[in-house]
Chains A and B, each alone.
Chain A
Amino acid sequence: MRTSFGEKAFRLFNIVFMIFLCVITLYPYLNQLAVSLNDGQDTIFGGITVFPREFTWSNYETVFSNSSFVGSLVISGGRVLLGTLLGLILITGAAYALTKKNLPGRNFLIFFLIIPTFISGGLIPLYFLYRYLHLMNNFMVYVLPMAFVFFYMIIVRTYIQSLPNGLEEAAIIDGANEVQILTRIIIPLSMPVMATVILWLAVTHWNDWTTSLYFITKKDLYTLQFVMYKVIKEAELVNELAVTQARMGGGGNQAVAVTPESIKAATIIVATFPIVALYPFLQKYFIQGVMIGAIKE
């Protein structure tokens, strides 16, 4: 079939539009990458595009030599590991149990778990609950309140339900007990959906910053995302980072090359690096989650 002029014009427009979309999506990030690798005093003059003009590592050296910055990196990493692990245990356990059609009380339990997705007490009652549970200024406030996500549980359950029924029966005949069925058969076969849930949980934990805003006042419990919030919103932390640099570099270097802009840029790059670096390779697992979820709806 011949393509008409209109279709050719549309195709060209479409390609141009897609390139435009890529540019406006990537440019702000690449610009910050360049600024983070550029001499701070030079950045002030403007005109940095996606290449550093006066290349330097000093912005990264500054943030990484600050102990509270490194501490926040450890807190963020720790909550990703612990939070993802705990979430995976609770979600998988519930999902597997709820695939059993003859489990007494199954419908009630699903109903019981689904209600809070419609109604919640809001922020203030949570605030008091955490005070009562001594979760304020406690590392566990990052882990426990996010340990179960109903929607992910449904995704895992849908996946397990789609596994062939005969497998479990065969295992029972072979003498496997119920723990072995779960750990040796169901979990290994559910690896693709596990990967999806692990990634979603890890991204959620890495990206969360409002938990620190609401419930944390102790500096050594800040997460990296919250440090970024402080850096862009409050001059105090930027100054502290710059002072560290001045003290370190003092004597030798006559000019302190680090500015708030370059510190911000370095912080943004470090805080987003794990996602930007890993996401393109793991994309299919994220999309898979949406697909399984959509079938359920």
Chain B
Amino acid sequence: MHNQLTLSQKIRRNKFLYLLLSGAVLWTIIFCYVPMIGIVMSFQDFNIFKGMFGSPFVGFKHFNAIFSDPVFAKAVVNTLYYNSIILIIGFPFPIVLALLFNELKGRFFKRFVQTVSYLPYFLSWISVVALFYAFFEMSGPFNDLKEFLVGHEIERTNILMDPDNFVAILFGSHLWKNIGWSSVIFLAAIAGIDSQLYEAAKIDGCGRWKQMIHITLPGIMPTAMIIFILSSGSLVSSNFEQVYGFQNLYTMEQTQVVNTLVYQLGIQQGNYSLATAFGLAQGIVSFLIVYGVNWISKKTSQVGIW
């Protein structure tokens, strides 16, 4: 019956559903597809008065500039350095936390600790930055603690003013904000493990430690792989809000990353073509990394996101 209708009849019959969809489709065209056309700017010497149709094409000029300018090179190196620390060293922390949560006994205590540890995830990055600034302030708790432990002769310093500390601050604040909430997905994976496996292991004489190594960890491996693949693209794309938030007059120059440089070049200095080219190169590399990691993961462990 349904199959005998022509396409136009089917469409007319579903006009209410298309109306419901129209908002999302229109939005996606305007705010996602139209800006994609703007990528053309990265191959032009874009002039704001001539517009995208009047500006001259210059080929790969801006892409070449990215690879030859030391400021860009520095930003790329910083980006890779900061993000590989966050991505690779930071990766096991939520998994370990989930395992520890899983071993907690008291129901109320467990619920309380989980609630507290999830909380910072819901604060904005700028709130986290503000809390960190206040914590490391000259008259703040960090210097109070240092004075309490070492004695009055110490010099009160603000560690956020030293570019050498920057990577540690990014790593620490990332962990502080995200460790709790990132563990939720692993807790869910642990809850999904067949409880019969644990029963069998107990009968075979495995203690809790052995159960964790031989059942829980292998059980959450597929989830861990997927999370890793999904986050691997962030190797080349820093969290702008975090980096820009923590940068200050003393650290700015040493700690530029691709995202902050795109903002500075493009919006602050009006160097539109160069900034677009830089952003585009970053997007492409990011996509290729996810693709590559997914490919390796599929080859080695049959886990992939597509």
Contacts and interface: CB of A to CB of B under 8 A. Distances in A.
- B partners with A: yes
A251 interface: no
A172 interface: no
A90 B36 contact: no
A231 B143 CA distance: 22
A7 B139 contact: no
Interface string A52-94: 0000000000000000000000000000000000000111011
17 contacts: A17-B100, A21-B180, A25-B180, A46-B143, A46-B147, A90-B27, A97-B18, A109-B25, A122-B283, A126-B35, A128-B38, A129-B31, A129-B38, A232-B126, A280-B119, A283-B118, A286-B122
Contact of A122 (B21, B117, B276, B305): B276
B72 interface: no
Interface of A: 1, 4, 6-7, 10-11, 14-15, 17-18, 21-22, 24-29, 31-32, 35, 43-49, 89-91, 93-94, 96-98, 100, 102-104, 109, 112-113, 115-116, 118-129, 133, 144-145, 147-148, 153, 178-179, 182, 203, 206-210, 214, 225-226, 228-229, 231-233, 261, 264-265, 267-268, 271-272, 275-276, 279-280, 283, 286-287, 290-291, 294, 297
Interface residues of B, number: 90
A156 B289 CA distance: 30
Nearest to A98: B21
Nearest to B156: A46
Interface string B2-25: 100001001100101111110111
Contact of A153 (B19, B24, B135, B241): B24
A121 B38 contact: yes
Contacts of B137: 261
Contacts of B149: none
A196 B100 CA distance: 27
A147 to B, nearest CB: 6
Given A49-B141, A209-B124, A124 B279 contact: yes
Contact of B131 (A32, A43, A145, A297): A32
Contacts, number: 254
Given A109-B21, A121-B36, A283 B115 contact: yes
Contacts of A31: 134-135, 140-141
Contacts of B213: none
A279 B16 contact: no
A90 B30 CA distance: 14
A179 to B, nearest CB: 7
B127 A210 contact: no
Contact of B207 (A7, A116, A297): A7
Contact of A264 (B117, B118, B130, B266): B130
Interface stretch (B79-87, B102-110, B161-169, B193-201): B102-110
B130 A232 contact: yes
Contacts of B139: 43-46, 48, 261
A124 B38 contact: yes
Contacts of A206: 124
Secondary structure of the B contact surface, majority rule: helix
B88 interface: no
A22 B115 CA distance: 9
A150 B116 CA distance: 29
- Can you list the 9 inter-chain pairs with the closest CB atoms, starting with the nearest? A125-B38, A122-B279, A121-B35, A116-B32, A207-B124, A93-B20, A94-B24, A125-B35, A46-B139
Contact of A228 (B113, B130, B241): B130
Given A46-B139, A148-B28, A14 B36 contact: no
A21 B113 contact: yes
Contact of B133 (A93, A232, A275): A232
B27 A207 contact: no
Given A103-B14, A207-B123, A46 B176 contact: no
Nearest to A206: B124
A4 B206 CA distance: 12
Contact of A208 (B122, B124, B208): B124
A264 B267 CA distance: 27
Given A28-B131, A225-B126, A4 B35 contact: no
A124 B267 CA distance: 7
Contacts of A43: 139
B203 to A, nearest CB: 11
B76 interface: no
Given A10-B103, A153-B24, A214-B267, A287 B134 contact: no
A18 B99 CA distance: 12
A13 to B, nearest CB: 9
B21 A148 contact: no
A124 B126 contact: no
Contacts of A122: 35, 38-39, 262, 276, 279-280, 282-283
A145 B9 CA distance: 34
B11 A104 contact: yes
A228 B27 contact: no
Contact of B185 (A26, A100, A208, A290): A290
A6 B2 CA distance: 68
Contact of B24 (A113, A133, A144): A113
A260 B176 CA distance: 25
A264 B126 CA distance: 12
A148 B23 contact: yes
A60 B149 CA distance: 33
Given A46-B139, A145-B31, A28 B134 contact: yes
Nearest to A282: B122
B245 interface: yes
